[in-house]
Amino acid sequence: MMQWLLIMLGGALGAAARLWAAGAVQRLAGGAFPMGTLAVNISGAALLGVLAGAFAGAGETALSAVWAFFAIGLLGSYTTVSAFTLDTLGLLKARRLGLAVLNMAASFALSLLAAAGGYALGAAL
């Protein structure tokens, strides 16, 4: 039961953080490219990598509460495949194929690099 509560609390905080961060980045960046969603997904991947790297090798019980709150709850609702997909669809519908492809490639490649870098950083802690 406690794990469910941690996930719900983390989820609520992560969703609010995503709304704020994505909006702030998009306002600063401007333009048609969904920079807010991209920034949120990359930063979330990096943070999840740090968490996974920091706790690599820890037992399941040592991770359960931390993982439930941060990885499943907070970062699970902070990062978003649904917004990324909708942003890409919007670019395709607007016939902005180049930006749509850039969004897909950048989201995948940069999130993967951020997760790997975060993992290495977390493992070094």
- Amino acid (1-letter code) at residue 30: G
Q: From the CB of residue 36, how many other CB atoms can be counted at a distance below 10 Å?
A: 21
> Is residue 61 annotated as involved in ligand binding?
no
pLDDT of residue 7: 95
> Is residue 80 annotated as involved in ligand binding?
no
pLDDT of residue 64: 85
**Taking the chain, what is the end-to-end CA distance rounded to the nearest angstrom?**
31
Instruction: Give the separation between CA 42 and CA 57, rounded to whole angstroms.
Output: 24
pLDDT of the chain, 125 residues: tens digit per residue: 899 999 999 999 999 999 999 999 999 999 999 999 999 999 999 999 999 998 887 766 556 888 899 999 999 999 988 889 989 999 999 999 999 999 999 999 999 999 999 999 999 98
DSSP string of 29-56, one letter each residue: H-SSS-HHHHHHHHHHHHHHHHHHHHTT
Instruction: Give the separation between CA 13 and CA 19, rounded to whole angstroms.
Output: 10
Domain count, the chain: 1
Give residue 37's domain range: 2-124
